Chains A and B, each alone.
Chain A
Amino acid sequence: MKRASRRCISKGAKSSRLDSLPPCGGGPGWGVVPWGTDAPPSPTPTPDPSPQGGGEEFAAPSRPLMRRIPAVCAMAALLLALAALPAGAERLVSSLSSHIVQITSNFTGVELTLFGTVENDPATAPRNGGYDIVATVTGPRESAVARRKERIFGIWINAESRTFVDAPSYLEVLANRPFESIADAGTLHREQIGIANISLPQQIGPDVADVTPNDQFRQAFVRIKHERNLYGEITNGVTFLTPTLYRASIFVPAEALVGNYDVDVKLFADGAVIARTSSAFEIVTVGVERFIANAAVDHGLAYGVATAMMAVMTGWFASIVFRRD
């Protein structure tokens, strides 16, 4: 761990790219953030408890590292950190091209790259079926009401409604091939692979419970979210560059909420999960947009008075500019 961090910093200093130096000391896998940015805490990208259960020390083999590319440096930190973990069959390593997405006035969405590798223990026999990767990106949770219109007295009005409690505002499931060819239905359900298997609990009376995937409110909720590019499944979204090196593109539209986005990556082989890792990124508003959004919520009255004053000033200014006498 310590060795990895120090190595990273010395490389950064040598190539005088301090601003893009990943804060290796804060934990592995933080990619590129502006110097001085607080990296939000994230779980260690290793299975816990270890799927192998071993606890012996493992000598970290030194690996050739590419210089000057901070993302690679971050990945190297991950690899080295993982190398110190117990020996096992496979380990999953992943990182994101960026961990902080800033919303500015011309924000039209962002595309992030998830990349990583499957670490293979040379002692283990290679898998015949190859590996499968499923990455699930979950945005900040919020409650929402789904309503169904009905015709009453000749006009269409909202009748029945259901409340979805703490549903992900954004949900993207990426895989290298269709889910049903990765594992059987029972495993997919247990591991919550695919939108149909992800729990979207509804408020039913005093209880909160999930419903079957073919519930019409649930289907409508997923469909509307999909139309807004907020929910999606891309079963060819993960590409294996080599049998063990993978990458995927995560697109977050402009409508996405600010907050923390969790990226959960699962490694499948022979229809079962053999390793998993997680990462995260955060969408933040900056500058004027952040100021306005915060002011509107925190100081509603002052914000209202200021907005009304702005209207009066604009009107007054126009009456001066366009004065005809």
Chain B
Amino acid sequence: MEIYLPIADLPVNVFLLLGMGLAVGFISGMFGIGGGFLMTPLLIFVGIAPAVAVATVSTHIAASSFTGAAAYWRRRAIDVALALMLLAGGIVGTTSGVLLFTALRRLGQLDIVIGLSYLLLLVSVGAMMVAEGLRAMLRARQGKPVELRRPGSHTWIHGLPLKVRFKQSKIYVSAIPVCAIGFIMGFIGAIMGIGGGFLLVPMLIYFLRVPTSVVIGTSMVLTLITMASATILHAATNHLVDAVLALVLMVGGVTGAQFGARAGQKMRSERLRLLLGILVLGVGLRFAFDLIVAPNDLFTIRTIVESP
């Protein structure tokens, strides 16, 4: 059954979209991530223009992160103060990201920037996750206890001024790195159409020493708000958000996430992290392949949309 997407301006099989939503939702539920870094490339592969894909996926992630955030809210596993401060940086980051997105689109270099940022981010983060996952599995096999949180060891981050106490997370850190992390997440989210959960969670754990119990819920609140604002900004400036596409994706996504979450709970956490690392690395290498191997067609054409 074909469905006509009004903004993407092409017909796509509705079951293909639902299936993609289910599959990505399953993975996102399993690993506790938004899944944007998987969904955006899939949509581009189906034939949707990269700009429309990035803008629409932000809507999809907003929906799936709301579902996650609601579950963590009921368990009181969200640090609201930390989320709000991350958000302050996040909104500035999203706004500048959307502005850069618009400028790059005008210059015709948006695709290459999306491709390169995916490549750099996914390959480096994926490689780190795989290495860390392998080390953890090795340690588990040797019978040593799994190290979840390295004790003490204050870094330069803890020497920064403007310190704030976050009660729920039981941390006392400077506002500067918190806002900076928020800014980075908002910025790359707007450019790459990813919620960045797979980046935010390790950053909060390693840089700010936020306890694992509140980290995912807090990250989901941040993802929800940055992605919802990215949706609004993309819709207002570039008119690229396809509501029909977003709706079909999010219906599949929120359903798949429920089954994914149940599957994830049955797996050991270090194995889960290794699998996620392999997934991230694989997607990154796929982007590397596209950029390095000679394209089938050297030419591309793109319609000029007159901005009103």
Using CB atoms and an 8 Å cutoff, list the residues of chain A in contact with chain B.
103-108, 142-151, 154-158, 161, 163-164, 169, 217, 220-221, 223-225, 254-255, 257, 285, 288-290, 292-293, 296-297, 300-301, 303-308, 310-312, 314-319, 322, 325
Query: Is the beta-carbon distance between B1 and A158 smaller than 8 angstroms?
Result: no
Determine if A254 and B62 form an interchain contact, defined as CB atoms under 8 angstroms apart.
Answer: no
Instruction: Determine whether B236 belongs to the interface, using a CB cutoff of 8 Å to chain A.
Output: yes
Interface residues on B, range: 35 or more
B291 within 8 A of A: yes
CB distance from B308 to the nearest CB of A (A): 7
Q: B235's contact among A163, A301, A312, A315, by CB below 8 Å, is which? A: A301
Question: Which residues from B are CB-within-8-Å of A155?
Answer: 112, 116, 291-292
Q: Which of B166-223 contact A (CB under 8 A)?
A: none
Cα-based distance from A104 to B5 in the complex (angstroms) = 10
The answer to whether A296 and B239 have CB atoms under 8 Å apart is: yes
Contacts of B109 in A (CB 8 A): 157-158
Cβ contacts under 8 Å, B308 to chain A: 297
Contact across chains for B241 and A307 when beta carbons are under 8 A apart: yes
Q: Do A308 and B62 have beta carbons less than 8 Å apart?
A: yes
Inter-chain contact A146/B246, CB cutoff 8 Å: no
Find out whether the CB atom of A310 lies under 8 angstroms from the CB atom of B246: yes
Distance of A308 Cα from B230 Cα, bound (Å): 9
Is there contact, CB below 8 Å, between B235 and A105? no
B40 close to chain A: CB less than 8 A: no
Which of A158, A221, A308 is B232 in contact with, Cβ under 8 Å? Answer: A308
Binary CB contact string for chain B from 82 to 119 against chain A (1 if under 8 A, 0 otherwise): 00000000000000000000000000110110001000
The answer for the CA separation of A317 and B74 in the assembled complex, in Å, is: 15
Q: In the complex, what distance in Å separates the CA atom of A163 from the CA atom of B108? A: 12
In the bound complex, CA of A144 to CA of B300 (Å): 10
| A106: chain B residues within 8 A (beta carbon) | 1-4, 11
B-chain residues with CB within 8 Å of residue A293 when the two chains form the complex:
6-7
Provide the B281-308 mask, 1 if CB < 8 A to any CB of A, else 0.
0000000000110110111111110001
Question: Could you list some 14 contacts between A and B, CB below 8 A?
Answer: A149-B298, A157-B112, A217-B299, A289-B244, A293-B7, A300-B235, A307-B231, A307-B241, A312-B66, A315-B64, A315-B66, A315-B67, A315-B70, A318-B254
Residues of the B chain whose Cβ atoms lie less than 8 Å from the Cβ of A150: 298
Which A-B residue pairs are the 3 nearest by beta carbons?
A: A315-B66, A304-B235, A318-B254
